[in-house]
């Protein structure tokens, strides 16, 4: 079991390299306290890096307990959110500072 988990860990480590290289593939833009796109598809069972671009002047916190991420993105700036490996499914996220409008979903498939 232990050895198996370590192997998975190493595989994960290798996967990071690939995910980092492809982080430009996944981009979320925040504008007027809304995410665009509001649904973003990523491959399941892989580590993925999503670049979050905040075009608003105010900071936003990308927050998702489902994705296990809390990340503040300053105004007029960008941040990288690293997630996964995810089982296939839908994972909601919000912009914590503007919860009423800033909502979205990561779809792993």
Partner 1 sequence: MLGALIIVFREVIEAGLIVGIVMAATRGVLGRGRWVTIGVGGGVLGAGVVAMFAGAISDAFQGAGQELFNASVLGIAVVMLMWHNAWMARHGREIADEMRRVGVAVSEGAKPLTALAVVVGLAVLREGSEVVLFLYGIMASGTSAASLLAGGILGVAAGAAFTALTYFGLLAIPSRHIFSVTSWLIALLAAGMAAQAVQFLNNAGLVVALDHTVWDTSWLLSDGSILGRMMHTLVGYTERPTEMQLTVYIATLFVMFLLMRIARPSPRRRLPVAAE
Q: Which residues bind partner 1 (CB under 8 A)?
A: 5-6, 8-10, 12-13, 15-16, 20, 47, 49, 57-61, 63, 65-66, 68-69, 71-75, 77, 79-85, 87, 96-100
Element (H, E) at 8: helix 2-21
Residue 40 or 93 with smaller CB distance to partner 1 = 93
CB-count burial class (<10 Å; 0-12, 13-18, 19+) for 67: buried
| CB of residue 82 to partner 1, shortest distance in Å | 5
**Cα–Cα dist 10/43, whole Å:** 19
| CB of residue 79 to partner 1, shortest distance in Å | 5
């Amino acid at each position: 079991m232990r050895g198996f988990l370590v192997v998975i860990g190493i595989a994960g480590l290798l996967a990071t390299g690939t995910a980092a290289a492809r982080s430009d593939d996944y981009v979320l833009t925040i504008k007027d306290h809304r995410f665009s796109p509001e649904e973003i598809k990523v491959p399941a069972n892989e580590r993925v890096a999503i670049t979050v671009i905040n075009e608003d002047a105010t900071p936003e916190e990308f927050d998702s307990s489902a994705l296990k991420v809390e990340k503040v993105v300053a105004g007029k700036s960008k941040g990288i959110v690293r997630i996964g490996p995810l089982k296939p499914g839908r994972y909601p996220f919000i912009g914590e500072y503007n919860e009423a409008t800033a909502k979205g979903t990561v779809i792993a498939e």
